[in-house]
Amino acid sequence: MSEPQGLKSTQHLPVIEKTTESELGQSTSAADYIPLPAPDAAKDGSGRFWSARRVPAAVLATAVLAAGGLLLYDVVAVRADRTAMHWRGPLARELAERPLDDTWVLVGAGVATALGLWLLVLATTPGLRGVLPMRRPHPDVRAGLHRGAAALVLRDRAMKVSGVRSVRVRMGRRKADVRAVSQHRELDDVRADLDATLADGIRALGLTRRPALSVRVARPGRKG
């Protein structure tokens, strides 16, 4: 995918150029860029995406099924005058003999507590931290952008700034951290260009809550 830019036959390039041009006029410097959400963001936003917690639910259901099924089978077998499975005797003895301050009881209780707290966290937190809510284009439509896609868009924009040799974008939930390596141009100029381009790029992401922007530009190290 490395067509020269002058080639207008590709389908997607003209639109990007059009939006870039029309919006560059609005943002001339980084000082104009305010990372706060617009006043109506709460109404227009997609809201946080909540995970269905399918995998932990499947694991827990399997565990309950296995433990419950085994116990049920054995209890019914004993009722039907068969012998109990061999693990029931030793288990009952251990439960009845180990005091609560026994190391293994404490370890088991600690593990159970930690597991329980983790399940509570899973049950109450939204998850899906990798999906950034977007502004609703229509009241019926909710949309979320994966962080990787957002970082890719910003990187592509940053690579178009002249003098930029390589860019690394780390997209957080609240902050886009951009590190660029530049040659053949004043670092401050490159930085100013990057600020403007990326502020514009962040608008093009269409997120509910626009992330703050942090740009760092450096000369290439000796090792490149």
Interface residues for another protein in 18-57 (CB under 8 A)? 19, 50-54, 56-57
98 binds another protein (CB under 8 A): yes
102 binds another protein (CB under 8 A): yes
Among 123, 175, 183, 186, contact with another protein (rule: CB under 8 A): 123
- Cα 17 to Cα 31: distance, rounded to the nearest angstrom: 23
Task: Give the strand pairing for 212-218 and 164-171.
Answer: unpaired
Among 31, 34, 141, 218, contact with another protein (rule: CB under 8 A): 141
Closest CA to 205 of 132, 102, 99, 139: 132
109 binds another protein (CB under 8 A): yes
Q: Minimal distance in Å, beta carbon 169 to another protein?
A: 10
- Cα 129 to Cα 146: distance, rounded to the nearest angstrom: 9
CA 15 to chain centre: 28
Chain positions 144 to 173 lying near another protein, rule: CB under 8 A, are 144-146, 148-150, 152-153, 155-156, 159-162, 165-167
Q: Burial-class residue 74 by CB neighbours within 10 Å (0-12, 13-18, 19+).
A: middle
Which pair of structure tokens corresponds to residue 144? 């979320």
89 binds another protein (CB under 8 A): no
Which pair of structure tokens corresponds to residue 108? 């088991």
77 binds another protein (CB under 8 A): no
Q: Which is nearer to another protein, 34 or 119 (CB)?
A: 119
Q: Which is nearer to another protein, 36 or 80 (CB)?
A: 80
Sign of CA dihedral 99, 102, 105, 110: positive
Among 22, 113, 183, 214, contact with another protein (rule: CB under 8 A): 113
